[in-house]
A and B are shown apart, each in its own frame.
Chain A
């Protein structure tokens, strides 16, 4: 089973350029999330979506945008990248029913130069 697929695996991006990180899940989970992981800071929530058609801001949303056109896809866009956005980005999903935990993708390592 695929679970959550993130692409690309890694990317080097020049400051000022835009980029979209892709995330697709095949578990029909209602909720999806984008986290960034930085050394010593753990994972911080960027944006989330509880269901298709809705999105919400997390702890560190500035500089990022998301969309949720359907259940399976939750792309994260950096409109104009800055070096402070160098990080490892993880997409996650969960069912909002029952005690479903978060399932994570393998991450996208982004370096902004």
Chain B
């Protein structure tokens, strides 16, 4: 079955860039997502990328996709304390289809 892996924890200083990595196994993945979860809240969609794209940039967020290696990354430029949260990578085979999530990466931004 599908499998999505992420590192558990990332610590970064305020103002630096953060890079969160994700690997997946399903070669049929069509959509790849990044969600953010703040304490006590649900998941908020940050950005997503189609599998036929290599990169997508949205303000401070840059998503890089290496389809050959099945590797996805999320770069947050100028990381702020409000970026402290758990970030989930997820994949699906079709739009609106059920998602498979990674275990989440907890990002801690230090002042």
Contact = CB atoms under 8 A, between A and B. Distances in A.
Interface of A: 4, 30-31, 33, 35, 40-45, 48, 58-59, 90, 92, 94-107
A48 B98 contact: yes
Contact of A42 (B33, B96, B103): B103
Given A95-B96, A96-B96, A40 B103 contact: yes
B31 interface: yes
B42 A105 contact: yes
B96 A43 contact: no
A101 B48 contact: yes
Given A96-B96, A102-B99, 15 more contacts: A35-B101, A41-B103, A42-B4, A42-B88, A45-B98, A59-B1, A90-B43, A94-B95, A96-B97, A97-B96, A99-B31, A99-B50, A104-B44, A105-B42, A106-B42
Contacts, number: 68
Interface of B: 1, 4, 8, 31, 33, 35, 40-45, 48, 50, 88, 90, 94-104
B42 A102 contact: no
A106 B88 contact: no
Q: Which of B95, B98, B99, B100 has the most CB of A within 10 A?
A: B98
B101 A98 contact: no
A96 B95 contact: yes
Nearest to A47: B98
B101 A106 contact: no
A37 to B, nearest CB: 8
A104 B42 contact: yes
A22 B70 CA distance: 36
Contacts of A41: 103
B48 A99 contact: yes
Contacts of A99: 31, 48, 50, 95
A17 B99 CA distance: 30
B43 A104 contact: yes
Contacts of B88: 42-43
Nearest to B46: A101
